[in-house]
Structure 1
Amino acid sequence: MTDWSTEALHADYAQSLRVDKLIYDSETAHQRLRVFENPTFGRVLTLDDVVQTTEADNAIYHEMLTHVPILAHGAAARVCIIGGGDGGMAREVLKHATVSHVTMVEIDGGVVAFSRQYLPSLSAGAFDDPRLDLVIADGADFMRDTKGGFDVIIVDSTDPVGPGEVLFTDTFYGHAKRALAPNGILVTQNGVPFLQPQELTNTMRAFTALFADATCYLASIPTYAGGPMAFGWGTDGDARATPPDVLQGRFDAAGLAPYYYTPQVHKAAFALPGYVARLLPGSSSL
């Protein structure tokens, strides 16, 4: 019998991945962790049976949540990652030599430990980089208490259920705004708008009240089925208007060789299809 892993994140839609080999299955104090091998996606990480990341396509998600704000900012030296226990986000942030310090706040130390052992390709040595400060703590508590001064804050959260729910509140976003340096950028994971419209709408309502420039951008990630994934964008600066030639220059200077990201994809990601634009405040007439 072939084993399948089926997630039930949505009430009327589910996706399944074939489990060729179960690598790890254990419950921590916060959630159930599983790692298994799939012929197309490689090793797959699930939390409470919801797919979080895969070896095959994780680069799309991680590149778009890191390179877009960092290259748009142009001088990001201090970056904060909320979540990201698998290390993939830190891996991409630390590819930028201009970044001098990364604070990564992960609620579950068990995720970090087993990711280092069972999914080492995701972090690719990031946990050993001296620029990384790993903090095992609740991200909402950290954001409330931090002195801040971050040029970029990346919220690499699970969906707004369980431990990740608090990271989608107006209070959390307000604390994150306060923790940004002048013209800093906050980016967030906001699910698949076709299946999770309220998740994006709620975040954009909060962002619109907090930031001079509040919108979202998109990327198509096979793991997260149901259409393109949305990433929230909030800043009081004008980084979104960075000209294409400037982005290209920063990209070339950084020496990146991404799987998915290009400066052209960066600019195009902010072009929203009608059904997504209508989820943003003030866009009901589109």
Structure 2
Amino acid sequence: MTDWVTESLHDGLKTAFRADEILYRRAVGQQDLVLYENPTFGRMLALDGVTQVTEADEFIYHEMLTHVPLLAHGAVKSVLIIGGGDGGMLREVARHASVERIVMVEIDEGVVTFSQEFLPGLSAGAFDDARLELVIADGADYIRNADERFDVIIVDSTDPIGPGEVLFTDHFYGHAKARLNAGGVLVTQNGVPFVQGGELAGTMRAFRSLFRVATCYLATVPTYVGGPMAFGFGTDDTALLSVTPETLAQRHAAAGLDTRYYTPDVHKGAFALPGYVQELVDA
């Protein structure tokens, strides 16, 4: 009998993925974790019934949430990652040799341990990077109490339910802004606007009160159905939206990056928003 893993994150919409083999299932920390094999997406990881990452398309999400802010900024020395226990975001940040310090704050150590054992390709050894400081703590608590600043902060959170809910509040974004160096960038994952419009609108409302630039950019990740994903982009440096494809290409080449989704032209085009997304940004 064929097993199917059904996700019902969105009201009125169910998504089912065929599970040829359940590889692992147990409670990890505060979350229910299941790993299974799918013929299209390879190994798929779900937390609390919601797909988090797949071997086949994870590069899209991780490349776009990392390289867009780092290459737009152009001189990043320090990066803070909130969440991201699977190590994919860390892998992409660590590819930038110019970055001198990486702090990663993950609430569940079990997710990190699990991912290194069962999804080692996601981190590709990045947890051994000497620049990394791994902190097992609540991201909201850390960012409220930290006494250092960063050039880029990446919020690689789950959806705003359970432990991830606090990472979508005005208070959290305010504390994150206080942890940025001058000209720094805060980026966030904001789900699929077509079916999660309130999530993006809420983040953009907070960003508008904090940043001179408060917008989002898009990427199409096949696993996350309902249209393109949105990534919040907040900064006080208005010039970061005007970086040319030529400059981005120079920075991309200088970093020695070999990316499968990100290109300088995709970077620029990702900020060209459909009308319904722009309405949520301006709401």
Fold-level match, TM-score > 0.5?
Answer: yes
Q: 1:246 corresponds to which residue?
A: 247
Name the count of aligned residue pairs: 282
Q: Report deviation, 1:201.
A: 0.1
The structural deviation recorded for 1:175 is: 0.2
The 5 Å alignment of 1:184-199 reads: 184-199=184-199
Deviation at 1:91, TM superposition (A): 0.1
Counterpart position of 1:277: 278
| Corresponding residue for residue 258 of structure 1 | 259
- Once residues 181 and 48 of structure 1 are traced to their aligned partners in structure 2, the CA distance between those partners, rounded to angstroms, is 35
CA offset at residue 14 of structure 1? 1.2
- Report 1:1-286 matches (<5 A): 1-237=1-237, 238-281=239-282
TM-score by length of 2: 0.99
**3-state secondary structure, aligned to 1:134:** strand
**Structure 2 gap ranges (5+):** none
Q: Secondary structure at the match of 1:252?
A: helix
User: Displacement of 1:241 after TM fit?
Assistant: 1.3
Provide the rounded CA distance (Å) in 2 between the counterparts of 1:243 and 1:265: 12
Two-structure CA RMSD over aligned residues (Å): 0.7
Q: Percent identity?
A: 64
How many Å apart are 1:28 and its aligned residue? 2.1
Structure 1, 32-41 or 237-246: larger mean CA deviation:
237-246
State whether residues 218 and 229 of structure 1, in contact with CA within 8 Å, keep that contact through their aligned partners in structure 2: yes
Instruction: Calculate the TM-score normalised by the size of structure 1.
Output: 0.98
The alpha carbon displacement at 1:29 in A equals 2.8
Separation (CA, whole Å) in 2 of partners of 1:113 and 1:255: 29
Q: Which amino acid aligns with 1:19?
A: A
Residue-by-residue CA offset, 1:70-105 (whole Å, 9 max, x unaligned)? 000000010000000000000000000111110000
186-195 vs 273-282, which deviates more?
A: 273-282
Structure 1 gaps, min length 5: none
Quote the Cα distance in structure 2 between the aligned partners of 1:275 and 1:189. 18
**Matched letter for residue 263 of structure 1:** P
Q: Which amino acid aligns with 1:249?
A: Q
**Distance in 2 between residues matched to 1:106 and 1:14, nearest whole Å:** 29
Q: Which amino acid aligns with 1:260?
A: Y
Distance (whole Å) between structure 1 residues aligned to residue 91 and residue 74 of structure 2: 19
Secondary structure of the corresponding residue to residue 10 of structure 1: coil
Q: Is the 8 A contact 1:38 1:44 kept in 2?
A: yes
- State the one-letter code of the partner of 1:250: R
Q: Work out whether residues 208 and 281 of structure 1, in 8 Å CA contact, stay in contact via their aligned partners in 2.
A: no
